[in-house]
A = this chain, B = another copy of it.
């Protein structure tokens, strides 16, 4: 496979064309951003950690019968994935109250929800990725009713697998964000990344945050936290 022109550079990854029109080459960057880009930093090692963790998690999901765009890890910071048209929705699953959910509803962080809850955010940096309802999704023609139902179902399935998997490693999966896309045939496929950038991961014993909140809230060393996650996942560590 050959890496070709840069298609898109996002906040966390670069997307390149390849010699195969159905495959793109993702390069994970060492940049951290939060609060819709207001807070920014370069953190050496972050690209590698997210690439490794995402690759492991997509493989794990595949073992449990949940397909994704993931094809293969190429290097410490690169992977090949199936090219999709990203549906501009952030699909968030929550198991415990935290972050914007806690702020919005006045519910203390850490309170368990009575059942896993799915939220949709409109992936639009200019609008600040606002939370939207299923009716908004329909009105904006981002997806139709059946597709929204499918996104919800798939997101809850991913939650089922990942909650159990992280749970066995002594980690509480508090919440996470997924992106989905449509492949050439119009099939909806899990895409983007699943990493400590896109999940809240709390140590079950200490409640220590092992995710991007370390950066957002200045809680310590981000790569230490991400290395901790990677080590528990059994991935390759750098010492």
Contact = CB atoms under 8 A, between A and B. Distances in A.
Interface residues of A, number: 21
Contact of A135 (B117, B130, B139): B117
A130 B104 contact: yes
B127 A139 contact: no
Q: How many copies does the complex hold?
A: 2
B136 A133 contact: no
A133 B130 contact: no
Nearest to A136: B105
A72 interface: no
A122 B105 contact: yes
A127 B106 contact: yes
Contact of A113 (B106, B124, B132, B139): B139
Nearest to A131: B131
A117 B105 contact: no
A118 interface: yes
Contacts of A122: 105
Given A113-B139, A139-B113, A132 B118 contact: no
A136 B97 CA distance: 11
Contacts of A187: none
Given A104-B130, A131-B131, 17 more contacts: A104-B127, A104-B132, A104-B136, A105-B127, A105-B132, A105-B136, A105-B139, A105-B140, A106-B124, A106-B126, A106-B127, A113-B139, A117-B135, A117-B136, A117-B139, A133-B133, A133-B134
Interface of A: 104-106, 113-114, 117-119, 122, 124, 126-127, 130-136, 139-140
